[in-house]
């Protein structure tokens, strides 16, 4: 081969300082390249999901509820307006789970491509961060689309409504980062999914004040809301989109809880990725 003579060698062509500073971006690039193979599917889900939910439950069930609730409405607004912020945060969380759990299980268990990445200068920390960043991009896209659909449905009543976007993104990536840390520990993924979806994600979706205020549930079930990132994001979302009553301290607390979950999730997944790769 004529090209054989052109070999210069890695000592000449590689700049390890550059990799050490940008490694996570390269990993995110790999994840986004993979994600773009499904871009139409991802976009279809991102649009169909809010349209179908807001139509069927927001408008459909909403008509029935609004008639019975009288002029006071639910929390002072139409049921659609009440429900929409919860669904916004739910879609963020769902997207984040997809982009955290699957790549992590693939990388460690199914295809083991994380071990391939780690044989290059890329570190475990960078792989964890890269997966997180790609998931972040998907969540932002999903939330922005959802928000515009909400706008089209007339579910945004406050001038602060745009702030519901970063709040929902934060809930999504916080949940995603925790999922990523858990998935990094998983050896038997079939059981993981059954447990995770049926016993964690589903109950959180149903009991986080999504369809009715947490306060209308029996007191002994309120703890589910408190441990659920979805409830904290929903409360903030309701405050921001239509002015749901909330003290400043409560708003700060909701925000602080989401932020701490995010910090814990990212720190833990970086640590667990590194640990598992070094074995």
Partner 1 sequence: MSTSLVTARGLTKKFGDFVAVDAIDFDVAKGESFGLLGPNGAGKSTTMRIVGATSQRTSGDLTILGMDPEKFGPQIRAHLGVVPQQDNLDMNLSVSENLYIYGRYFGLSRKYLKTKIEELLEFAQLEEKRDAKVESLSGGMKRRLTIARGLVSEPEILMLDEPTTGLDPQARHILWDRLFRLKEQGVTLIITTHFMDEAEQLCDRLIVMDKGKIMAEGSPALLIKEYSTKEVLEIRFGSERNSSMANQLREMCERIEELPDRILLYHEDGEVLLEQIYSAGLHPKTSLVRRSSLEDVFLRLTGRTLVD
Q: Which stretch binds partner 1 (CB under 8 A): 30-38, 55-63, 75-83, 211-219?
A: 30-38
For residues 233 and 176, the answer to whether their CB atoms sit within 8 Å is no
29 binds partner 1 (CB under 8 A): yes
Angstrom distance (rounded) from CA 133 to CA 12: 30
Using the rule CB under 8 A, which residue among 46, 84, 87, 122 binds partner 1? 122
Smaller CB separation from partner 1, 4 or 249 = 4
Using the rule CB under 8 A, which residue among 69, 109, 115, 133 binds partner 1? 115
Which 7-26 positions form the footprint of partner 1 (CB under 8 A)?
Answer: 7-11, 13-16, 18-20, 22-23, 26
Among 141, 175, 190, 172, which residue's Cα sits nearest to residue 269? 175
> Residue 134 Cβ, how far from partner 1 at the closest point, in Å?
11
Q: Which stretch binds partner 1 (CB under 8 A): 106-114, 152-160, 209-217, 236-244?
A: 106-114
CA angle 44, 47, 52 (to 5 degrees): 110
41 binds partner 1 (CB under 8 A): no
158 binds partner 1 (CB under 8 A): no
Using the rule CB under 8 A, which residue among 109, 113, 158, 185 binds partner 1? 113
> Residue 139 Cβ, how far from partner 1 at the closest point, in Å?
19
Q: Which stretch binds partner 1 (CB under 8 A): 27-35, 60-68, 88-96, 131-139?
A: 27-35
- 24: CB partners within 8 A, 6+ apart: 125, 126, 127, 129, 130, 133
Among 170, 167, 177, which residue's Cα sits nearest to residue 265? 177
Angstrom distance (rounded) from CA 103 to CA 180: 9
| Residue keyed to tokens 């961060």 | 129
| Residue keyed to tokens 């239509």 | 242
Angstrom distance (rounded) from CA 223 to CA 249: 19
Angstrom distance (rounded) from CA 15 to CA 1: 27
Using the rule CB under 8 A, which residue among 47, 73, 106, 148 binds partner 1? 106
Chain residues that interact with partner 1, rule: CB under 8 A: 1, 3-4, 7-11, 13-16, 18-20, 22-23, 26-27, 29-30, 33-34, 37, 106, 110-123, 277-279
């Amino acid at each position: 081969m004529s090209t054989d003579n052109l070999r210069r060698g890695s000592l000449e062509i590689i700049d390890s300082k550059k990799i050490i500073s940008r490694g996570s971006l390269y990993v995110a690039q790999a994840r986004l390249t993979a994600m773009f193979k499904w871009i139409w599917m991802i976009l279809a889900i991102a649009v169909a999901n809010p349209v179908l939910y807001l139509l069927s439950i927001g408008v459909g069930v909403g008509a029935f509820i609004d008639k019975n609730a009288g002029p006071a409405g639910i929390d002072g607004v139409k049921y659609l307006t009440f429900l929409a912020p919860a669904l916004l945060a739910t879609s963020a969380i769902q997207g984040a789970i997809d982009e955290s759990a699957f790549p992590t299980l693939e990388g460690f268990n199914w295809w083991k491509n994380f071990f391939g990445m780690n044989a290059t200068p890329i570190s475990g920390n960078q792989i964890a961060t890269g997966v997180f960043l790609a998931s972040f991009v998907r969540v932002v896209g999903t939330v922005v689309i959802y928000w515009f659909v909400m706008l089209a449905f007339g579910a945004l009543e406050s001038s602060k409504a745009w702030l519901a976007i970063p709040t929902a993104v934060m809930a999504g990536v916080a949940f995603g980062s925790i999922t990523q840390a858990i998935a990094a520990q998983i050896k038997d993924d079939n059981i993981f999914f059954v447990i995770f979806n049926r016993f964690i994600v589903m109950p959180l979706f149903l009991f986080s004040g999504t369809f009715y205020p947490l306060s209308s549930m029996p007191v002994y079930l309120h703890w589910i809301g408190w441990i659920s990132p979805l409830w904290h994001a929903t409360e903030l979302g309701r405050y921001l989109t239509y002015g749901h009553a909330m003290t400043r301290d409560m708003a700060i607390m909701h925000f602080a809880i989401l932020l701490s979950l995010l910090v814990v999730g990212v720190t833990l997944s970086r640590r667990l990725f590194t640990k598992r790769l070094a074995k």
